[in-house]
């Protein structure tokens, strides 16, 4: 019983991390039809800058932990905004070239990060509490998972509130639904593209700093590993669907954890099998709309 | 005012139509006698053309040119943006190594086993990933390649894990082993490149290739005509994968070993960079891209170790000592300002002089995607 609770909760925690990366990807794809390969680079840069900030303020304190997360979100948002303005916007409506540009950016960024911070992983020591465990129903859950879940829940609530309650959120939702109609009504959808990139970048930035604490180290390839799972999650959840991304994140991560424990470490492989099955049964994903 | 596609079509009887074949044959002959000559190109080649170091670099160029050609068949001919092409390259490389190591067969049956293995993996993964198209297709192929990469890294006792797999040398004919026989390996890779070129040419010119091109332009219309776009795309996909496997086999022989990176997403992205650099939709562009990228990568790595770079301030030193950073930036610039790549730009210039209008191949794939996406959006 306790081991099942452990696997379940760590799975949800890992799913929270996937969601932080996948939410931005899904929104960006839904609105702009851009597959953003540079999302991993946003995440990695945020993690490195977050590491620098935490290092400067003293890693053990909660203050520096929170500040590093906020700085990570800011860095992710700024990097994403610049990417959209400089690289994506000039290639408006040329989706394949937009994808290629983000591929090139991630290619160059990873190499640059290796040049700046070295090819070896950099270790990070967070607040001591993160290293401890909390006991739930006999299962000892590492505390990093609670932080991940809390962060993802906050981001999810903030995103839903933003999308449902604000004018810009309404434009974004309408744009995902039918962009030509929104444009026909005289609303400049392009302005919301930058916004979506900034939001996605901020979520990825938070994810980056937390992923660093989760793995206790950061390397230039942190983003690439997470990005592939985020892609899988967005396809399974249905491209463009935030709810789909949330459900699929948890589903994928829990399945992955169970397979890792009970099927001798085949978690990564099972996830791809799940992807294949979902595509065979339901090519549009769990919450995908377009037939 | 005719809008021509980026793929040059052969019109029988047109003056100069045989020119590409004459040039191509002459190039192959020149490449074939290169190891017997003493030509030095300082700054591009590390030494005279008969030295093993130069021949190894040229062979690597040809392996990647073959891989880029196979990728161009996928992206250029049938408009499929795959991020999992390295899987089939790796299948060839690892397939050969494993066939020799586990089954214990000699080289040529091993090559056959590796090709059949690559074919099986391609047919299986291709059939599933083609349930979706466009960007989701890219994601799914990426996931498959990643699964392959994970399998290779995890099963340490079979594939050697992160250490990579060494080629069991005693099962290879003696004339293909050792630095002194680099010349023979060079000729083998040249043969592989020619085979891949001919296969790609044959697919492009066949009814299958035309069907795949038609599907790229307008899948719905192909369906309405009673043809099966799925089968055509799958066949082209498998053909491209088979060519990639062959390139992987040549790579394995050349390097007498392979690392897990031969399966990973990074290699696919590298190939994508080569093809876009050379020009999507042009066979000679893919070859130019593959060769150019490999030589640039090698030269930039040498540059990174140069004395004068080390003395520069950090702001300049770090970017300049990362070859992949420079190549990534070059790639971004090409996509943004030279969307046809090298071959596309030259081709467009030639066509403009003849008074024809052109569009880059990438644009065409985009337009085709939109044509498919728009009716769906209206329906939803």
Task: Note the pTM of the prediction, 2 decimals.
Answer: 0.86
Query: In whole angstroms, what separates CA B98 from the centre of its chain?
Result: 23
Q: Do B144 and A265 touch (CB under 8 A)?
A: no
What pLDDT score does B367 carry?
67
Instruction: Please give the DSSP secondary-structure letter assigned to residue A133.
Output: E
Out of B53-67, B175-189, B270-284, pick the least confident: B175-189
What mean pLDDT comes out for the span B33-44?
82
pLDDT tens sequence across B4-32: 444 555 455 555 667 878 888 898 998 88
Q: Touching check for A75 and chain B: CB below 8 Å?
A: no
What pLDDT score does B3 carry?
44
Whether this model's ipTM surpasses 0.90 comes out as no
**Are the CB atoms for B128 and B122 separated by under 8 Å?**
no
pLDDT tens sequence across B83-107: 899 999 999 999 999 999 888 888 8
Instruction: Please give the DSSP secondary-structure letter assigned to residue A218.
Output: E
What pLDDT score does A289 carry?
63
Separation between Cα atoms, residue B237 and residue B252, nearest integer Å? 22
Q: Touching check for A274 and chain B: CB below 8 Å?
A: no
- Does A2-281 carry CATH code 1.10.1740? no
SS3 track for chain B: CCEECCCCCCCCCCCCCCHHHHHHHHHHHHHHHHHHCCCCCCCCCCCCCCCHHHHHHHHHHHHHHHHHHHHHHHHHHCCCCCCCCHHHHHHHHHHHHHHHHHHCCCHHHHHHHHHHHHHHHHHHHHHHHCCCCCHHHHHHHHHHHHHHHHHHHHCHHHHCHHHCEECCHHHCCHHHCCHHHHHHHHHHHHHHHHHHHHHHHHHHHCHHHHHHHHHHHCHHHHHHCCCCHHHHHHHHHHHHHHHHHHHHHHHHHHHCEECHHHCCHHHHHHHHHHHHHHCCCCHHHHHHHHHHHHHHHHHHHHHHCCHHHHCCCHHHHHHHCCHHHHHHHHHHHHHHHCCCHHHHHHHHHHHHHHCCEECCHHHHHHHHHHHHHHHHHHHC
CB < 8 Å from B in window 142-181 of A: 178-180
Please name which of B78, B354, B5 lies closest in space to residue B241, comparing C-alpha atoms: B78
Torsion angle of the four alpha carbons B69, B74, B76, B77, in this order, in degrees rounded to the nearest 10:
110
**Are the CB atoms for A142 and A10 separated by under 8 Å?**
yes
- Name the residue among A33, A87, A105 with its Cβ closest to that of B135: A33
pLDDT tens sequence across A215-245: 888 888 888 888 888 988 988 988 878 888 9
Q: Which residues pair with B227 in a beta bridge?
A: none
Each as own residue / partner, the long-range contacts of residues A165-172 (CB below 8 Å, 24 or more positions apart, any chain) are: A168/A192, A168/A195, A172/A27, A172/A31, A172/A196
Residue A153 makes CB contacts below 8 A (sequence gap 6+) with A16
Most A CBs within 10 Å: which of B322, B360, B373, as the mutation test of the A interface? B322
In the block, tokens 């540009």 appear at A101
The number of residues making up chain A comes to 291
Most A CBs within 10 Å: which of B76, B139, B363, as the mutation test of the A interface? B139
The two tokens of residue A282 are: 């339901």
Q: Which residues pair with B4 in a beta bridge?
A: B358
What pLDDT score does B368 carry?
64
A179 → chain B, closest CA residue: B377
Please name which of B88, B82, B85 lies closest in space to residue B137, comparing C-alpha atoms: B82
Q: Which residues pair with A142 in a beta bridge?
A: A133
A–B interface: beta-carbon pairs under 8 A: 140
Q: What phi and psi values does residue A218 have, to the nearest 5 degrees?
A: -135, 135
Separation between Cα atoms, residue B143 and residue B338, nearest integer Å? 30
What pLDDT score does B369 carry?
60
The two tokens of residue A85 are: 């303005």
Q: Touching check for A110 and chain B: CB below 8 Å?
A: yes
The two tokens of residue A156 are: 């999810």
Tell me how close the Cα of A212 comes to any Cα of chain B, in angstroms: 21
CB atoms within 10 A of CB B22: 10
Please name which of B74, B46, B81 lies closest in space to residue B61, comparing C-alpha atoms: B46
Q: Touching check for A270 and chain B: CB below 8 Å?
A: no
Separation between Cα atoms, residue A15 and residue A248, nearest integer Å? 8
Rg (CA), chain B: 21
pLDDT tens sequence across B105-141: 888 899 999 999 999 999 999 998 888 888 888 888 8
What mean pLDDT comes out for the span B41-56?
83
Separation between Cα atoms, residue A96 and residue B114, nearest integer Å? 32
Torsion angle of the four alpha carbons B150, B155, B156, B162, in this order, in degrees rounded to the nearest 10:
-10
Separation between Cα atoms, residue A62 and residue A152, nearest integer Å? 18
End-to-end CA distance of chain B: 36
What mean pLDDT comes out for the span B304-312?
76
A chain contacts of residue B147, beta-carbon cutoff 8 Å = 268-269, 272
Low-confidence ranges of chain A (pLDDT < 50): 291
What mean pLDDT comes out for the span B192-204?
94
* Mean pLDDT computed over every residue of chain B: 84
What pLDDT score does A291 carry?
38
What pLDDT score does B376 carry?
38
What pLDDT score does B127 carry?
92
Kindly state the helix (H) or strand (E) to which residue A139 belongs, with its residue range. strand A139-142
What mean pLDDT comes out for the span B221-234?
89
Most A CBs within 10 Å: which of B335, B336, B341, B363, as the mutation test of the A interface? B335
pLDDT tens sequence across B340-367: 889 988 888 888 888 777 777 777 777 6
A chain contacts of residue B138, beta-carbon cutoff 8 Å = 35, 99
């Amino acid at each position: 019983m306790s081991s099942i609770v452990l696997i379940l909760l760590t799975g949800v925690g890992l799913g929270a991390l996937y969601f932080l990366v996948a939410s931005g990807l899904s929104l960006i794809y839904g609105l702009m039809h851009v597959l953003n390969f540079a999302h991993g680079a946003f995440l990695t840069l945020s993690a490195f800058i977050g590491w620098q900030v935490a290092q400067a303020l003293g890693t053990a304190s909660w203050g520096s932990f929170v500040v590093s997360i906020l700085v990570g979100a800011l860095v992710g948002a700024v990097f994403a905004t610049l990417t959209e303005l400089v690289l994506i916007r000039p290639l408006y409506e040329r989706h394949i070239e937009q994808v290629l540009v983000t591929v090139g950016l991630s290619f160059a960024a990873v190499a640059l990060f290796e040049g700046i911070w070295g090819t070896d992983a950099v270790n990070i020591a967070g607040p001591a509490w993160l290293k401890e465990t909390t006991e739930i129903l006999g299962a000892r859950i590492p505390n990093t998972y609670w932080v991940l879940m809390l962060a993802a829940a906050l981001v999810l609530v903030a995103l839903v509130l933003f999308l449902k309650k604000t004018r810009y959120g309404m434009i974004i939702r309408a744009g995902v639904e039918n962009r030509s109609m929104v444009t026909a009504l005289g609303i400049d959808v392009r302005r919301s593209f930058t916004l979506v990139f900034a939001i996605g970048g901020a979520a990825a930035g938070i994810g980056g700093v937390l992923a660093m604490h989760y793995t206790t180290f950061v390397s230039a390839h942190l983003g690439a590993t997470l990005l592939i799972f985020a892609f899988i999650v967005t396809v399974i959840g249905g491209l463009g669907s935030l709810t789909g991304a949330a459900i699929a994140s948890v589903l994928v991560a829990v399945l992955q954890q169970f397979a890792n424990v009970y099927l001798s470490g085949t978690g990564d492989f099972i996830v791809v099998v799940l992807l294949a099955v979902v595509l065979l049964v339901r090519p549009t994903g769990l919450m995908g709309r377009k037939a | 005012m005719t809008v021509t596609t980026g793929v040059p079509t052969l019109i029988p009887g047109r003056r100069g139509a045989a020119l590409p074949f004459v040039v191509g044959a002459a190039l192959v002959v020149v490449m074939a006698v290169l190891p017997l000559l003493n030509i030095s190109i300082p700054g591009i080649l590390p030494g005279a053309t008969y030295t093993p170091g130069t021949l190894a670099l040229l062979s690597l160029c040809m392996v990647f040119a073959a891989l880029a050609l196979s990728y161009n068949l996928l992206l250029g001919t049938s408009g499929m943006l795959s991020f999992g092409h390295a899987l089939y390259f790796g299948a060839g490389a690892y397939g050969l190594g494993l066939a020799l190591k586990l089954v214990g067969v000699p080289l040529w049956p091993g090559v056959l086993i590796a090709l059949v293995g690559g074919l099986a993996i391609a047919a299986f993964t291709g059939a599933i990933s083609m349930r979706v198209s466009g960007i989701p297709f890219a994601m799914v192929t990426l996931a498959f390649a990643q699964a392959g990469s994970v399998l290779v890294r995890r099963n340490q006792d079979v594939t050697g894990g992160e250490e990579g797999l060494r080629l069991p040398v005693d099962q290879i004919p003696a004339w293909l082993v050792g630095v002194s026989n680099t010349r023979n390996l060079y000729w083998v890779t040249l043969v592989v490149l020619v085979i891949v070129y001919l296969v790609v040419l044959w697919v492009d010119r066949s009814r299958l290739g035309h069907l795949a091109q038609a599907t790229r332009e307008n899948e719905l219309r192909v369906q309405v005509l009673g043809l099966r776009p799925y089968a055509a795309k799958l066949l082209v996909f498998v053909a491209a994968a088979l060519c990639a496997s062959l390139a992987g086999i040549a790579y394995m022989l050349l390097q007498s070993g392979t690392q897990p990176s031969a399966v990973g997403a990074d290699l696919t992205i590298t190939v994508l960079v080569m093809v876009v650099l050379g020009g999507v939709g042009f066979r000679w562009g893919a070859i130019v891209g593959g060769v150019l990228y490999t030589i640039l990568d090698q030269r930039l790595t040498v540059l990174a170790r140069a004395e004068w770079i080390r003395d520069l301030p950090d702001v300049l030193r770090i970017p300049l000592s990362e070859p992949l950073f420079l190549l990534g930036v070059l790639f971004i610039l090409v996509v943004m300002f030279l969307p046809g790549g090298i071959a596309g730009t030259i081709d467009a210039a030639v066509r403009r002089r003849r008074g024809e209008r052109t569009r880059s191949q990438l644009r065409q794939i985009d337009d085709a995607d939109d044509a498919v996406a728009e009716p769906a959006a209206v329906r939803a």
